[in-house]
């Protein structure tokens, strides 16, 4: 049986309803694909703890836990593991976004997300984000 890998990720959203995506650097698996910032949940961490830690490491900003809204999740069978990835939404943070791991980041409109190749696990999440951000959503 494949191990279950728990990864926490966030869709950061700016005042123009754009989403931040990051391009995975060359040294990582799935290099070149665009992803939601985040990373693996380590032993003893909650998904929210892991996300705040990863986002500080990757983007040098502080997320406040109460600003993390659970949005959706990805569940995808990769060859060597099964990915379970809660995706949170966050519209406020402290600090200026500064990529710290050599990754390129981009603010993208929901309708344009399909121009950026993402890992297969992420594909089912895109229409949900498009619905949330391109319509007159009561949630934002
Ligand atoms: N962060 C993130 N990971 C994703 C997404 N989609 C997706 O399939 N993944 C996969 C890629 C990796 O196999 C795994 C997360 O790995 P990661 O490389 O971000 O983990 P990490 O930040 O803890 O990095 P590392 O130090 O362990 O290399 O989840 C996504 O949208 N965001
Ligand atoms: Mg990561």
Residue 122 lies in a domain: yes
pLDDT at residue number 1 = 87
- Is residue 54 lining ligand 1, measured as CB closer than 6 Å? yes
User: 12 lies in which domain range?
Assistant: 4-134
**Is 81 contained in some domain?**
yes
ipTM (interface predicted TM): 0.94
| Nearest atom (ligand 1) to Cα of 58 | 22
Using an 8 Å Cβ cutoff, are 22 and 103 in contact? yes
Task: Answer whether residue 128 is part of any domain.
Answer: yes
Domain at 60, CATH number: 3.90.79.10
* 58, 86, 124 from 32: Cα distances, Å: 16, 22, 19
- Tell me whether residue 20 is in a domain: yes
Q: Which residues of the chain have pLDDT under 70?
A: 136-140
Would the annotation count 35 as a binding residue?
yes
pTM for this entry: 0.95
Ligand 1 closest atom vs CA 87: 31
| pLDDT attached to residue 138 | 54
Ligand 1 contacts CB of residue 7 (under 6 A): yes
- Annotated binding residue at 48? no
Atom of ligand 1 nearest to the CA of 76: 8
Domain count for the chain: 1
37 is in an annotated binding site: yes
Task: Say if ligand 1 is within 6 A of residue 48 CB.
Answer: no
């Amino acid at each position: 049986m494949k191990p279950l890998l728990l990864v926490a990720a966030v869709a950061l959203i700016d005042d123009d309803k754009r989403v931040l995506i990051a391009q995975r650097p060359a040294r990582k698996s799935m290099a070149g694909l665009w992803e939601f910032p985040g990373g693996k949940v380590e032993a003893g961490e909650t998904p929210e703890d892991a996300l705040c830690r990863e986002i500080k490491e990757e983007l040098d900003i502080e997320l406040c836990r109460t600003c993390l809204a659970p949005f959706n999740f990805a569940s995808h069978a990769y060859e060597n593991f099964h990915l379970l990835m809660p995706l949170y939404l966050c519209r406020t943070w402290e600090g200026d976004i500064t990529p710290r791991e050599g990754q390129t980041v981009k603010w993208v409109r929901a309708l344009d997300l399909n121009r950026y190749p993402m890992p297969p696990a992420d594909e089912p999440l895109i229409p949900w984000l498009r619905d949330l951000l391109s319509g007159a959503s009561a949630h934002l």
